[in-house]
Amino acid sequence: MSRTPHDEPNASTLDWLAVIAGALGALIASLDISITNSALPQIQGEVGASGTEGTWISTGYLVSEVVMIPLSAWLSRLLGMRKLLLTCAILFTVFSIMCGLSHTLTAMILGRVGQGFFGGALIPTAQTIVRTRLPRHQMPIGMTLFGLIVLLGPLLGPVIGGTLTEHVSWQWCFFINIPVAFALVSLLMLGLPPEKADMHELVNADWLGIIGMSVGLSCLTIVLEEGQREQWFDSHLIRNLTVASIVGLIAMGISQFTSRRPIIKLSLMRNRSYAGATIIVVCVGMVIYGILYVLPQFLAGISGYNAEQSGWILALSGLPAFGLMPVLPRLLGKADIRVLVLIGLLAFAISCFVDVHLTPDSAGGDFVFSQLLRGVGQIFSFMPLNQISVGSVSRADAADAAGLFNMARNLGGSFGLALLGVFIDRRVELHADVIRETVRANSALVQDRLASQAALFAGNNGDTVLAQGQALASLAGQIHRQAMVITYSECFWVLGVCLFLMLPLLLILRAPAAQPPGARPAEAAH
């Protein structure tokens, strides 16, 4: 008779050191996704970049990260987990220092690309370590630690970045990685055993898939991140990148049938539970990154908040994570996984619907309840999905599953931001037109408003003609402001509906099946 998971021995101290090391690596990688957002104006001024050029400071990180995430499984087989993580941790730190010392846009973008590439391996490998080093009855603890970090990193990034920029300097947004990386390297040296490199992986690699995936995903990410700013297919660059992306993804698709071990193992999607979790996390990624974009835009553009103040409002959704931390592992281990995801998706969706009644007078205090509820939703939806993503596959497939799952979450975020960008531009224009139609020049109310404003401006500058122009400009600004408020409210409504549409997929989720500690990887259910 095979033993139950609770008969497995507990993880050793070295196992937990490895898990903590993986979590620390995921922390610095996830923090750096958003830590520069608050410091972007200062960084652009330092390196002499315009607003459009400055977007590449963030885009460069995301492009290289999305390429590295699925490569991490193959690289861990090639180099061994310990050597891969040590290499990535050290080079991530080197490129962080390069960013902090940069005085040109080229150097900054190269530094961010290096950060994203080597940081990209730190997130899925942390999930793999939890799956391979912990017994099943302790996996909920490891997955809670991993999930909290991946959720809190992007939330805390703007707060930390804004605080460092306001009170120290923007360079410390990058130099802060140095002491963290030192601790990470020390833990990796202690917690992970050395492994021999397997050069056969280099010879037998799925090179068609690697090249196709690298070109396809990097070009797709650039299209999604920069498309709205470049006016989409009106841009020669966007058209070329779209073609390159399609060709690369087709090549990656062909490699699924021609390679013995494809670089992205799409056959894992035959596992219904894993496929359901992956599809749901695409939507969750869209909503999380969408809110991280929409809420600061509202607070800055409508409420007049600076980056640090907006960051603290965003960080409110992280508070429930600390409150639930003691009980979450027990819930993940005991409760029906589908019920937890249901609670999470419903709470997350309701938190979006709470924010659909925004007004021009709304401020940070109006988002406290929705942000706290949103935090509960994120925890209860994201944590179980993490556990399903690696728990429903064999240990041999854990690295591939973690890479595909985390890539799906990031791509979901990129798709969400691209779609929201288009939605916001189109709806603002529509609402502004509708409002302008109701504001008639011969209306007594409009005339009174313009006259009072013109009198106010004339009192300040003494020029009646200029004052009338300023009054018209002020009215146009108020129309645009109202159109933005209506559009942001609609964004929250759309994000909430997207989460509700994921509820039917809960029917195909199931808790990870128990596997005896001595079972071969091939015995795991698919």
Helices (H), 355-463: 368-391, 398-438, 444-461
Is the separation of the CB atoms in 409 and 33 below 8 Å? no
Residues 6+ apart with CB under 8 A from 292: 34, 154, 155, 314
Backbone angles phi, psi at 512, to 5 degrees: -55, 130
Name the residue ranges covered by the structural domains of the chain.
1-200, 206-262
CA separation for the pair 17, 122 (Å, rounded):
15
Is the separation of the CB atoms in 142 and 49 below 8 Å? no
pLDDT of 378-416, one tens digit each? 888 888 887 787 777 777 777 788 888 888 887 888 778
3-state helix, strand, coil in the chain (%, to 5): 80, 0, 20
The pLDDT value given to residue 464: 65
**CA separation (Å) from 440 to 200, 411, 435, 445?**
75, 45, 10, 9
Is the separation of the CB atoms in 494 and 355 below 8 Å? no
Give, for all 526 residues of the chain, the pLDDT tens digit: 444 455 667 778 888 888 888 888 888 888 887 777 667 777 777 777 665 566 677 777 877 888 888 888 888 888 888 888 899 999 999 999 998 888 888 888 888 889 988 988 888 888 788 877 788 777 777 777 777 777 777 777 778 887 887 788 888 888 888 898 888 888 888 887 887 877 777 777 788 888 888 888 888 878 877 777 777 788 888 888 899 989 988 988 888 888 888 878 888 888 888 888 888 888 888 888 888 888 888 887 888 887 777 778 888 888 887 777 778 777 777 778 888 889 999 999 999 999 998 888 888 888 999 999 998 888 888 888 877 877 777 777 777 888 888 888 878 887 787 788 788 888 888 888 887 777 665 565 555 565 666 566 555 665 565 666 666 666 666 777 888 889 999 999 999 998 988 888 888 777 665 444 444 333 333 3
CA separation for the pair 225, 406 (Å, rounded):
18
CA separation for the pair 343, 440 (Å, rounded):
48
The pLDDT value given to residue 431: 84
pLDDT of 183-238, one tens digit each? 888 888 888 788 787 777 777 778 888 888 888 888 887 887 777 777 778 888 88
Query: pTM for this one?
Result: 0.75
CATH fold group of domain 1-200: Growth Hormone; Chain: A; (1.20.1250)
CA separation for the pair 222, 416 (Å, rounded):
14
DSSP letters, 292-337, are HHHHHHHHHHTS---HHHHHHHHHGGGHHHHHHTTTHHHHHHHS-H
CA separation for the pair 282, 269 (Å, rounded):
14
